[in-house]
Structure 1
Amino acid sequence: MSTASMAADSKAAPVFVRETREGPVYRITLANAAARNALSRAAMDEISAALTRAAEDADARVVVIGHEGPAFSAGHDLKEMQAARRSADGGRAFYDALFAQCSDMMMQVVRCPKPVIAEVDGVASAAGCQLVASCDLAYASETSRFATPGVNIGLFCSTPMVALTRNVARKHAMEMLLTGEMIGADEAQAIGLLNRAVPQADLSATVRRLAETIASKSPLTLKTGKEAFYVQAEMGLADAYAYTARVMAENMMARDANEGIGAFVEKRPPTWTGS
């Protein structure tokens, strides 16, 4: 293949994700800005692979999902979805696979043994908003905007609704879902979709400080706590207390719990082993 052909192929192939790690912070950057970081099947493949690598990186303690360009993610690739209609079944098999894949990717965020933080400086809509809601924590610039606008194009945001209704009150969620209107970062913070909206110039530093603070904790404790948080949230009150009591008792048997309590009593910094 000629150099010119190789260059042309390189230009034709979009880069969906970039990955870096700075100390204990693993950063996944959605990098297909030209397509507003649409969640095509290929893009979700790359995001899932990046999440797997982040989960398996022994030196990573926290995962940050950020983005290039003016959109965190505009949601699914509508052109890809429309093209699937040309298949013999009208696209049904493709749509089943697409939404199952998206749901699996969102569950992968939830099940990642490390805290996952969304860093948003732009628009997050539809499945892009779903990804923000699926992250454990979310921070955004004050100029960012959020929406679940599927209702505007005849496709209700049913899967984004799952993450949305687990973050914000039902009436706020229904308003977003039924109107499809954009909300600003301040409102997103007020209803619980965001932890905090900050000035654009402060966003990266805010997320970095938070990530480093979390990364300073015992990795075993973070894994234990994140898993228990989501499990107990789906339980009734009595079952949740019974489950978390068992989790705490098991946690107490860990070396890091012994080390952390001992360090506190002895007024010294703890040394975590992750066990």
Structure 2
Amino acid sequence: MADELVHYEVRRGIATITLDSPHNRNALSTRLRAELTGHLKAAVHDDAVRVVVLTHTGPVFCSGMDLKEAGGASSDQQGVNEFPAILEQLWTSPKPVVARLAGPARAGGVGIVAACDIAIAADTATFAFSEVRIGVVPAVISVTVLPRLLPRAAHELFLTGETFDAHRATTIGLVNRAVPADDLDTEVTRYTDMLALGAPNALAATKRMLQDPRPTNLGEVFADMLELSARHFGGPEGQEGITAFVEKRKPTWVPTD
């Protein structure tokens, strides 16, 4: 719909969710949070969707929470409870989520980037954990950001609030690739095409495996991984993938239109 702040489109197995609130730099207003939540749910529950791309209009990816709304508001009104749910949706989505950044991300916007599985940024994009400079703590976003960042970089950037560029963001683990702006869409498509080749259940199980804490006992780890491997090797997707490989064709799960 034209009056939405967040748009949703599905094409060839790719669900594109677009933040479209450039007047406030795609800040996480009450309305934007609600629409984003709804579209993420739609993508997860749509069997036709294989990969989710989170992108934006305007020069800024996301400036974080809407501070004009937050001023003088209670914790609930500030979205303290809603925003973690959005980060959890992204982090636990069984479909891979790719963040496409043509512009800056700040505060909560960086938390969203970190919650996505893969992040591709234009090399002109910048980032900052600006919370301490307005007297607040980057507590909620730390849940998704800290697993991505090198510890020394996390201490430096959380405490100073310094702005850093996309190339540094790649070296510290926040984004996967920083490319010239003209190459951004091509690079995002390269990743979505690769992800769409993966079997849906295998991708979901692999995401869970990557996120689960590992026991300290290696015997337990190997036992769990052997069970996981055998279950998918002998399952419908594994058998279809093997058959397709032998028959030199694409598996049935690869989107064709």
Structure 1 length-normalised TM: 0.86
1:269 aligns with 2:252: no
Contact 2:146 2:154 in 1 (8 A): yes
1:40 aligns with 2:29: yes
Query: What are the Cα deviations for residues 166-199 of structure 1, in whole angstroms up to 9, with x where unaligned?
Result: 1011111111100101110000011111100000
Matches within 5 A, 1:196-275: 196-231=177-212, 234-238=213-217, 239-264=220-245, 266=246, 268-272=248-252
Query: What are the Cα deviations for residues 142-177 of structure 1, in whole angstroms up to 9, with x where unaligned?
Result: 000011100001011111122111101111111110
Quote the Cα distance in structure 2 between the aligned partners of 1:245 and 1:164: 30
Quote the Cα distance in structure 2 between the aligned partners of 1:55 and 1:146: 28
Which SS does the other structure have where 2:4 is aligned?
Answer: coil
Higher helix share: 1
Quote the Cα distance in structure 2 between the aligned partners of 1:30 and 1:60: 19
Structure 2 length-normalised TM: 0.92
1:113 aligns with 2:83: no
* Identity across the alignment (%): 32
Unaligned runs of 5+ in 1: 1-9, 85-90
Which SS does the other structure have where 1:72 is aligned?
Answer: coil
Paired position in structure 2 for 1:63: 52
- Who wins on radius of gyration, i.e. which is larger? 1
Quote the Cα distance in structure 1 between the aligned partners of 2:253 and 2:177: 32
1:187 aligns with 2:168: yes
Unaligned runs of 5+ in 2: none
Contact 1:224 1:251 in 2 (8 A): no
Contact 2:197 2:253 in 1 (8 A): no
Matches within 5 A, 1:27-176: 27-84=16-73, 91-95=74-78, 98-176=79-157
Task: For 2:58, give the aligned amino acid.
Answer: G
Which SS does the other structure have where 1:269 is aligned?
Answer: coil
Q: Which moved more, 1:123-132 or 1:208-217?
A: 208-217
Quote the Cα distance in structure 2 between the aligned partners of 1:163 and 1:240: 24
Contact 1:61 1:115 in 2 (8 A): yes
Change (3 A) 1:94 1:208: same
Contact 2:29 2:69 in 1 (8 A): yes
Contact 1:161 1:177 in 2 (8 A): no
